Chain A
Amino acid sequence: MIYITDGSFEGILTAVFEAYDRKEEPEAIVCGDVCQMQLASEIREIVTDESKSDRVYRAIAEKMSGESLENLYRAFLSEHPDCGIYIYRYIKVGLKVGRRVTSYLQNPDVLRINDLNYKVSAECHRFLGMLRFKKTRSGIFYAGYEPDHNITMLITDHFAERLSDQPWIIHDQKRDIFALFNTEEVVFSKGLPLSICEAGEEEEFETLWKRYFKAIAIESRKNPKLQRSYMPRRYWKHLIEKQP
C-alpha cells in the first residue's frame, strides 16, 4: 500500500493517523507530485485533515517528547524522498518505547530520522555564517542562497534578533521561498515580487571583503582540500569572497 499526501508535514501526520486507524502497514508515504506509480501496489490518497494530524502531533509531544517532535520536523525539512515513511516508522518505534526514543540509536528507524535531522541542523548552522547580504538601492539587505534542505524558516529568528534594525530578505532561490523582515516581524512567502538592484556603496564593501579574505590566508599553509571540506564548492556561487 502506497499513501499519497499533499507533501505537507500535516499531510504526513494524517497518513500516520490513517495507517493506525485502518491497521495498515504502508510501504511508502509519498508526495502527490513526485509519485511514480509502482505496478501492482495499491494506492491510497490521503486528504490532509488537521484534526487527525493534530492528534498524532499531540501523541508525539506527550508520549515521546518535544525533542522528538523537533527532530521529526527537521527531518521533514530535509525533503528526502523517503522521509514520509521514515517519519511513520520512527513514530511507531516511539509509541512503543516512549521518551527514550531519542536515545535509541541502535534502532535503524530512529537512526534514519536522527541522520536527517543532523544534516538539516548542520546546514542551518552553516548558513548562519555563510549567508551573504547585499544592500539594495531601496535600503533592504538581500541574501540569496540555495540550500540543500528547506531551512529558511529555521534560520530567520537568528537574523531577526541579530540584524534587528535593518530590513532584510532571505531568498531561497532553489525553492523560490523568501522571508521578509520589516524590522518588526518576519513574513514568509513564495515568488519574490521585486528585482534586486545593488546600492552604489555595495561594490566598495565587497572589494574590501575580498581583499581581507585574500590577505588573511597564510601562503605557506595553503590547503584547498581543507577549505573545501568546510565550505563545499556547491555553496561558492553566493559567496562574495569566492567570486573573481
Chain B
Amino acid sequence: MKLLDKLQILADSAKYDVSCSSSGSDRKNRPGGVGNASLPGICHSWADDGRCISLLKVLFSNVCIYDCKYCVNRATNDVRRASFTPDELCELTIQFYRRNYIEGLFLSSAVLKSPDFTMELMIRAMRKLRHEYRFNGYIHVKSIPGADIRLVNEAGLLADRMSINIELPSTDGLRLLAPQKDPASILAPMDYVRDRIMESREPVLYKRREAFVPAGQTTQLIVGATRDSDLKILTLTEHMYKRFKLKRVYYSAYVPVNGHRDLPALNTSPPLLREHRIYQADWLLRFYGFRAGELLDEGHASFDTHVDPKCDWALRNLDKFPVEINRAPIEMLLRVPGIGYKMAEKIVRARRIGPLSFEDLKRMRVVLKRAKYFITCSGRYCSDVDLDAGVLYPLLSDEADSRIIPGQVSIFG
C-alpha cells in the first residue's frame, strides 16, 4: 500500500480523538537533534471543522481485535485497514516537522493482536524517532488499556504527554458499548502515571531525573453516546481532575458512525452545543474556582441551552451581585459573566493605580455586553435594567450575542 493511502486511512480513523494540544513541555533541542517543545504549545493550522492542527495525529494501526459499538474501527466494521512501519511514521513526522507543518506526533492505535503487542510497536516507533532520528519535538501517546505497566512506564519516558481515554462517562455505559474494555484497566494505569509523574518531579541531588510525561496526562470521554447527564459528566470530571491530577479532560460530541440499537440513530447530528457547554463548565472548574455542585445539581442536571454555565449560575445567585469592580476580590471578579481570567487580572492590576470607571473598562476592552448587569464602578450601577432573573435571561442568551460561533470554546467568558 502506498504511504499516501496509509496516511489517509490512519489519519481518518484518528480524527475522533479531539485532543490537539502541544503545551506543557519545555523539552530542549540537543546538539545535532531536530526540534524542541514550546511550553504554551503552538497551533500550526486549522482544519475545515475549525479544530486546531498542532500534532500529526494518526493511529499506528487501525486493525482491531475489539468490537466497541461506538467505534469506527470496531473489528466487525468493513473499513480499509492499514498499519505504519516505524520508519514510515518517523520519516513522516520528521519531514513534516522540518517544514514546520506540525509541532510533533500524536500516536494512538487500535488494538492489534493484544494490548501489549500494540504498545510494544508504538514504543518501538517512538524510540526510533527519539534516538535514531534524534527528534526532540512533542510526542503525545495514547496508552492502550490493558497493557503491562512496564510498557506504560517505557512509553512515559519517551513521550511528553500521555492519555488514556476513559471513553464513556459511566461503567454501565462502558459495559454496554465496550464490553471488552475493563474499567479497571483504564483507571489503574492513570493512577500509576500520576504517581510516576509526581515521583519524577521530586528534586534529586547531583543528577538529572529522567523526565516522565513532563506535559502531564489527559483523558477523553464521549458525550451523547449514552444517556449520562451533564451533571454525571461534570461530577466525574471534577473527580478525575482531583484523583489523577489531569491536565485536561477532553469531550467529544458523539458522531454516529455505526448503527446499533444501543446507540443514537445514524442520522443524529453530533450534540455540539452540549459539548460546548461542558467545555465552558470545564473551564469554570479549572480557572474560575467553581465546583461542579455549584453549576449543576439533581434538580438541575443539564446545562441551559440558551445561556452559558456562568450566566446560568449568576442568575441563580443574584444576591451576590452587583460586584464592585474597584474593591471585589479577584475570586468574585472571576464569577462575573463576561469577565475572563485575563481581564480579571488586568482589572486588579489597573485599579491599584487608580479607580476604574465604566468608560475605563470599555477602553480596556472588557466585554460589557454581559458584565454590565452585574457590576458597579465606584458605586455606580452601569446598566439601566433591574437585577432580575426574568428580565436578564433573554438579554444574556446566546442568540443575543452574534459573536459566538458554535464549536468555539470561549476562554474569555
Contact = CB atoms under 8 A, between A and B. Distances in A.
B198 interface: no
A59 interface: no
A37 interface: no
Interface in A148-173: 158-159, 161-166
User: Range of interface residues on chain B?
Assistant: 35 or more
A122 interface: no
Contacts of A223: 48-50, 405-407
Contacts of B349: 103, 105
Chain A's interface: helix, strand, loop or mixed, by majority? helix
Chain B's interface: helix, strand, loop or mixed, by majority? loop
B353 A218 contact: no
Interface string B30-54: 0111111010001111111111111
Given A162-B35, A216-B57, A227-B47, A221 B12 contact: no
Contacts of A164: 29, 31, 33
A212 B56 contact: yes
B381 to A, nearest CB: 20
A218 B16 contact: yes
Contacts of A216: 11-12, 14-15, 47, 53, 57
Interface stretch (B92-100, B213-221, B242-250): B92-100
A239 B53 CA distance: 13
Interface residues of A, number: 54
B367 interface: no
A208 B405 contact: no
Nearest to A159: B100
A212 B47 CA distance: 10
A205 B15 contact: no
Interface in B250-285: 253, 255, 269-270, 272
Interface in A107-163: 108, 111, 125, 128-135, 141, 143, 158-159, 161-163
Nearest to B268: A220
B12 A133 contact: no
Given A105-B346, A128-B38, A217-B15, A143 B49 contact: no
Given A106-B360, A215-B15, A163 B44 contact: no
